[in-house]
A and B are shown apart, each in its own frame.
Chain A
Amino acid sequence: MTFVHQNGVTALSDVSLSIEKDELVGIVGENGAGKTTLVKHINGLLKPRKGTVRVDGSDTRDVSTARLARSVGIAFQNPDHQLFSDSVESEITFALKNFGFEPSLIQKRLDWALGFFGLEEYRKSSPLILSGGEKKRLTLASILAWDPEVVVLDEPTVGQDAIQKEKLAEIVRMLHAAGKTIILVSHDVEFLWTLQPRLLVMKRGRVVGDGPCAEVMHDRPLLEGARVCQPQLVQLYDELAARPARPFLDVSEARAWIARDGEGTMRTRKGGS
């Protein structure tokens, strides 16, 4: 499918791909590559100029945006574009009420979301007083509260410290285990590397790479062409004279490999055994 902005700029050209139910997908590419434009097609915010987008079998042009919104939740990059209620509480319940949830369920979902995202103390506060990282968590809380089947997170780690990032990775793993379809748009290659999603690489409106994270992140020419950095552990792997068959998935794998020399003997303080 192809998408052309009103100003005539082609944001997506000839994109063809399918994402299965319960897949975990990451999308990388430089600013302006078309990542956000692509995900806006999934919940019908944008409709293709040419070609079709089908969600759960239905053409997004034939389904109301309200119905699509129920099954596809998108947390956009800039929370200021998304937050509009006068309290944290009503921000979270807004969609739940719109989707006609029972009041008792709304209460349960609200309590869960506030607790899970560490926003309990701000229940009655205006979203405007939250820090950047907290606002970001509020957008996630508002979306996960209504439990959509497809969850799209656009740059979820921006402004998050290490502890919040680990928590976010846990949430993604949990949603994935629960059978949700998850799409992560992110510049944070270290975060993606810890999750090992199927990875799409975008460049100037096209999908130029698509495959398992470990394979795609190891394809340096592809990534350099799309101006995407490799995770540190992959860079390290590429520079090692002796290395295992595939890149290290985490620090402990790299540690175990390096602590032994090429013959598998433990290295000592003097560098030999």
Chain B
Amino acid sequence: MAKNNPTTPLLRVQDLSFRYVETPRWAVDGVSLDVEEGTITVLAGQSGCGKSTLLRCMNGLIPHMYPGEYTGSVALDGSPVGSTRMGDLAQRVGLLFQNPENQIFMFSVERDIAFGLENLGLPRAEIRERVDEAMRLLGIEPLALRAPHELSDGQKQRVALAGVIAMRPRLIILDEPTSLLDPQTASELVSLVSSLRSRLGITFVIVEHRLELLTPIADKIVVMDRGRKVMEGTPSQVLTDPAARGHGIAVPPVSMLYADLRRDGVALPRVPATPRDLADEVNAL
């Protein structure tokens, strides 16, 4: 894998605006954003704030598949997404949808994971190797020959993610990946994302409403409102800023409590990521 010049981010969005055909409003309005290699970025904001449109700009679906007015630029590894072929982009940017049912459709789990690789026309031995590796990374080897429709929702989400991982992308975009999962299964998926980042150096951009799940692993939270980027910072910066609630962000109770206590003059040493962190700090007072 070619290493980046450390000064160039993996993904650079510069003054990007986009509006769909025949709509008056800019869905994305003058957004600039750098995503550094190996980081986890969370995109948050109310429904209709432009998150999904921005994701589509990152993986090239916009402007390749959606007509509309496009200004500014999105560059992956220094080359503009708009002038890169979709086939090339598909190998560098993976996308996981909210509902894995939209993504898995073959007769067996391993056939499903192999689907994208077969489309690339890779040699059979390489396909086998990559499928086995992806199943191992996601802990789903025992499911290899099962039919995807028999699996639980959490297992389906892992199969869909394995299909993305097998393409060996540099960047993986997750669009509300946990919304159909129960809390335990959701936190297992979050741990998995964190371990894929540290083991493979994959960069993640994640749209998610349940911020309490991602606060412990995210490097950066970007908040959008009416197409604009309105906040950007570490989870502790963004979630303890009173402005976050005004933009419709579901601030986890622990972050809200920390910010309120600080206003009361109870100075806790660190911004807590979890209830246990906060309790440890309070116990030490």
Report which A residues bind B (CB closer than 8 A): 29-32, 131-134, 158-165, 187-190, 227-229, 231-233, 235-236, 238-241, 251-252, 254-255, 258-259, 261, 267-269, 271
B203 smallest CB distance to A (angstroms): 25
Known: A162-B248, A165-B250, A258-B266. A31 touches B181 (CB 8 A): yes
B211 smallest CB distance to A (angstroms): 9
**Which of the residues B248, B252, B257 comes within 8 Å of A255, measured between beta carbons?**
B257
Residues of B within 8 A of A271 (CB): 267, 285
Is the Cβ of B275 less than 8 Å from the Cβ of A161? no
The CA of A243 and the CA of B253, in the complex, are separated in Å by: 17
Report which B residues bind A (CB closer than 8 A): 45-48, 98, 152-154, 176, 179-187, 209-210, 212, 245, 248-254, 256-257, 260-261, 264-267, 274-276, 278-280, 282-283, 285
Residues of A within 8 A of B282 (CB): 240, 258
The CA of A255 and the CA of B185, in the complex, are separated in Å by: 30
Q: Which residue of A lies closest to B153 (CB)?
A: A31
Known: A131-B48, A240-B282. A251 touches B184 (CB 8 A): no
Having A162-B245, A190-B250, one finds 19 other A-B pairs with CB under 8 Å, namely: A30-B182, A30-B185, A31-B153, A133-B47, A158-B179, A159-B176, A160-B209, A161-B47, A162-B250, A165-B250, A227-B185, A228-B182, A228-B183, A228-B184, A229-B187, A233-B275, A236-B275, A239-B276, A254-B253
Residues of A within 8 A of B185 (CB): 30-31, 227
Residues of B within 8 A of A158 (CB): 179-180
The CA of A29 and the CA of B182, in the complex, are separated in Å by: 8
Known: A30-B185, A159-B47, A161-B209. A240 touches B257 (CB 8 A): no
Residues of A within 8 A of B280 (CB): 239
Is the Cβ of A268 less than 8 Å from the Cβ of B265? yes
The CA of A134 and the CA of B48, in the complex, are separated in Å by: 9
Residues of B within 8 A of A258 (CB): 257, 261, 266, 282
Is the Cβ of B283 less than 8 Å from the Cβ of A233? no
Residues of A within 8 A of B250 (CB): 161-162, 165, 190
Is the Cβ of B279 less than 8 Å from the Cβ of A240? yes
Known: A30-B182, A161-B209, A258-B266. A132 touches B98 (CB 8 A): yes
Is the Cβ of A31 less than 8 Å from the Cβ of B154? yes
Residues of A within 8 A of B251 (CB): 162
The CA of A189 and the CA of B212, in the complex, are separated in Å by: 12
Is the Cβ of B182 less than 8 Å from the Cβ of A251? no
Q: Which residue of A lies closest to B212 (CB)?
A: A232
Residues of A within 8 A of B252 (CB): 190, 232
Can you list 24 A-B pairs, Cβ within 8 angstroms, ordered by A?
A: A31-B180, A134-B47, A161-B45, A161-B209, A162-B245, A165-B250, A187-B181, A227-B182, A227-B183, A227-B184, A227-B185, A229-B187, A232-B253, A238-B279, A239-B279, A240-B279, A241-B283, A251-B260, A252-B260, A258-B257, A258-B282, A259-B261, A259-B266, A267-B266
Q: Which residue of A lies closest to B211 (CB)?
A: A162
The CA of A161 and the CA of B52, in the complex, are separated in Å by: 14
Residues of B within 8 A of A235 (CB): 274-276, 279
Q: Which residue of A lies closest to B187 (CB)?
A: A229
Residues of B within 8 A of A232 (CB): 212, 252-254, 275
The CA of A271 and the CA of B180, in the complex, are separated in Å by: 43
The CA of A269 and the CA of B268, in the complex, are separated in Å by: 9
B156 smallest CB distance to A (angstroms): 10
B150 smallest CB distance to A (angstroms): 10
Is the Cβ of A132 less than 8 Å from the Cβ of B47? yes
Is the Cβ of A161 less than 8 Å from the Cβ of B46? yes
Residues of B within 8 A of A163 (CB): 46, 248
The 5 closest A-B pairs by CB, nearest first: A239-B279, A235-B275, A229-B183, A133-B47, A162-B250
